[in-house]
Amino acid sequence: MRVAVILFALHGISAPAQTAPAARPRPAPPNAPATVLVRGAAVELRYQGITILSAQLSSTGAAPRLRMLVDSSGGKITQIISWTAGDDRVTLRGTIHGTTDAFAVDADPRENGVPIVRHSVGPSYNRLNRGVYARSADWLLSLDFPSTAEVTPVAGGDSAAFAVEAVGGEVTLRFRPRYYQKHRGLAYYEPWTYSPWNRSAAGWTSWFAYRDSITEADVHSAVDAIAERLAPYGYEYVQIDDGYQRLPIGVPENWLNTNEKFPGGLKGMHDYIASHGLQSGLWTNVSFADSVWAAAHPRYFVRTPDGKVAEGNWVGFVMDGANPATMRDLVLPVYRQLKAQGWSYFKIDALRHLRYEGYNSYAEFYSRRGIDRVQVYRSFVQQIRAVIGRDAFLLASWGPRPELVGIIDATRLGTDGFGYGGFAQFNSFNNVVWRNDPDHIEISRADGYRSATITSLTGSLLMLTDRPEVYRSDRVEAARRTAPVLFTVPGQVYDIDPSRSSRLAMVEHEVSGSGPRPFEADQRLQQTLYQLDVARPFERWTVLARTTGAPDTIRVTDLGLAAGRDYVAFDFWEKRFLGSFRDTFVAGAVDPTFQVQVVCLRERQSHPQLLATNRHVSCGGVDLERVSWSGEALSGTSRVVTGDDYELYLTEPDGWTAESVDVPGAAAVLGDSRDQWRRVTMRGARTGQLTWTVRYRRLR
């Protein structure tokens, strides 16, 4: 085969390296195309002096025609390398070399594709993946349709290498540097300077339980219930919302000295939370409502052209973040003392109003002095972050805050009240740009199981907000089985519904935050299918969440599973075996008790195998450390909650029967076999780890 040799030079400008806190400096990637080297059948792409693709070309006929294009419209570099073979077939086979935090993804929406919000834990082997996103370098390398393509992690995901194979009459590579920053319009996204919060973030907040009538006794009651009923399952934060501070809000003294409902003060409240093994969190607000103080000290505030202190709805008197004295005297003392007391979770409210009713509405105050108002806004929050440190969790509320990318850990995507829209409208942002916050979950509501399930499976921020008595009822199961939150990455680097994220630029000229905005996530249940792919060294499986209205019949190829293979399915919430299937899965109706069906899908084995455990909706993703079949025995090691009944759900195909179960450190009960599956229950675990073995006998 004869292939022309073509070289594209790497060009662009160098940028100064930026340093993430306590991290090694990384060079900023150039907004420039890759170098393309074609030598005979060998193809190589180099970017930042590193080989990101090494591959071989072959064709069934004459040498394919090579075309290349670099387009830089709007500052977005799109580089196309395409081989066309006409009626013949061309094959590209090789390796994509990503950064250590790179992951395989679906890069672009497919025609007539079934809309499924996908996430993964561990390396993703999903067959819908057609590209690799290298997060810390912010580049995306993908393969266009209509060629078939498969991108698979190499060496079990322990390296940053991905095997790639594409076949078709036309094979097209698409390289997009600065993908989220330029192509997705996130100007402040510099992932080489920070990493997303990669630990579980789950807990309780007081807002919908008590609103601003909360008392110290209410906090103690909630802490007692959470420590006893939820903390062992992964809930660690207790965040106190509005209602503890003195009024009017504004000066540090009124934030740091509590009102009469909290006689023990902030330190006493923190200490009570910490004494129960929980992390303390607090709501604060960047509004300033003290009119007397503002009138007496106008220099701390933004001012109108006639010299008056600027004022706006919800933000009160607008604090001037460009004035070092404002930050020194009014803002930072609050967070400095809270940090010293031990608070580790900070919810900062009214940030939308500081931006819209504040700095946007009074833009002239900064423009006439040649000051960038967005940089003032960003610096305002960055200085708070510097005080509380990167080890504290920082939630921005409310609305997506693209100006604060790299500073905040999470942002509430919509208005007050739990919202489903963000799961599909900002799915590609979650745990890449920040952690998505759908707002607080009331498991006492009819949709409690559904909201907690989808939040957990997508790796979002999971904060409950019921009164403590709810957690002493059977309803607590919805919370227990959805925490901790696994650190997921999105399966798509595009949003399933792009109608909101595509409008984020509107924050630049918005002057009112009094209600929902077109770029904020709505609260409706938009999508009906949510998928989590789990990969562990010993096994890979898929979890599918279906809500009311989801299609009953689903092709395995729409889930990115291989056609022509047999799979087994188990309903997690209803605890029932759904049988085995090939190519097409018929799920049935969603139980209205739960309003969500969680289906655990595993490739069928010829011997008894694990379907799921009862510990977590990830069907074993939280608890399983090892599972193996050897010598007609199924064995494993699991992390469990001491004192909680731990259940295994196992297939029992024709020709097999379980004879015994051995679990040192717990009492084990071998349930009856029914419809080719069996339940094993382990009770009274004295430690947080159990090793179990189920022995089988072949039936002759």
Measure the CA–CA gap between 81 and 60, rounded to whole angstroms. 19
Walk me through the domains of the chain, giving residue ranges and CATH numbers: 7-112+120-175 (no CATH), 202-247+272-284+324-331+338-353+375-509 (3.20.20.70), 529-698 (no CATH)
User: Does residue 680 contact residue 627 with C-beta atoms inside 8 Å?
Assistant: no
Q: What sign does the CA torsion over 341, 347, 350, 354 have?
A: positive
| Residue pLDDT, tens place only, 446-483 | 999 999 999 999 999 999 999 999 999 999 999 999 99
484: closest CA among 279, 681, 342, 344?
279
pLDDT for 14: 27
pLDDT of residue 9: 29
pLDDT (tens digit per residue) in 508-533: 999 999 999 999 999 999 899 999 99
Q: Which of 167, 192, 166 is nearest to 181 (CA)?
A: 192
pLDDT by residue (tens digit) across 611-634? 999 999 999 999 999 999 999 999
Distance, CA of 301 to CA of 330 (rounded, Å): 11
Predicted confidence at residue 143, as pLDDT, reads 98
How close are the terminal C-alpha atoms of the chain, in Å? Answer: 58
Give the tokens for residue 386. 């510097």
Query: What stretch of H or E contains 92?
Result: strand 90-97
pLDDT at 156: 57
Q: How far apart are CA 457 and CA 453, in angstroms?
A: 6
- pLDDT for 15 equals 30
pLDDT tens-digit series, residues 244-290: 999 999 999 999 999 999 999 999 999 999 999 999 999 999 999 99
- The per-residue pLDDT for 253 is 98
**Beta strand spans in 329-460 (E):** 345-349, 393-396, 410-412, 435-437
Give the mean pLDDT of 312-325.
Answer: 98
- What integer pLDDT is reported at residue 241 of this predicted model? 98
Q: Where are the beta strands (DSSP E) in 169-278?
A: 170-177, 202-205, 237-240
**Residue 368: Cβ-neighbour burial (10 angstroms; 0-12, 13-18, 19+):** exposed
Question: What is the 8-class DSSP label of residue 109?
Answer: P
Q: pLDDT band for 209, please (50, 70, 90 cuts).
A: very high
Helices 373-388 and 332-341, packing angle to 10 deg: 20
CA angle 558, 562, 567 (to 5 degrees): 95
Number of neighbours of residue 224 by Cβ within 10 angstroms = 15
Which pLDDT score is estimated for 247?
98
Q: Determine the pLDDT at residue 246.
A: 98
Q: How many angstroms separate the CA atoms of 190 and 65, rounded? A: 37
For residue range 534-548, what is the model confidence (pLDDT) as tens digits?
999 999 999 999 999
Mean pLDDT of the residues in the chain: 95
pLDDT at 700: 73
502 CB-side CA count, 13 A: 7
Per-residue confidence (pLDDT) for residue 155, from 0 to 100: 75
Classify residue 286 as exposed, middle or buried by CB count within 10 Å of its CB (0-12, 13-18, 19+). Answer: buried
How confident is the model over 652-662, as a mean pLDDT? Answer: 96
Condensed to tens digits (0 to 9), the pLDDT of residues 135-166 reads 999 999 999 999 999 999 997 555 699 999 99
Q: pLDDT tens across 549-588, in order? A: 999 999 999 999 999 999 999 999 999 999 999 999 999 8
Q: Report d(CA 123, CA 154) in Å as an integer.
A: 9
Distance between CA atoms of 58 and 262, rounded to whole angstroms? 74
- The reported pTM is 0.95
pLDDT score of 20: 37
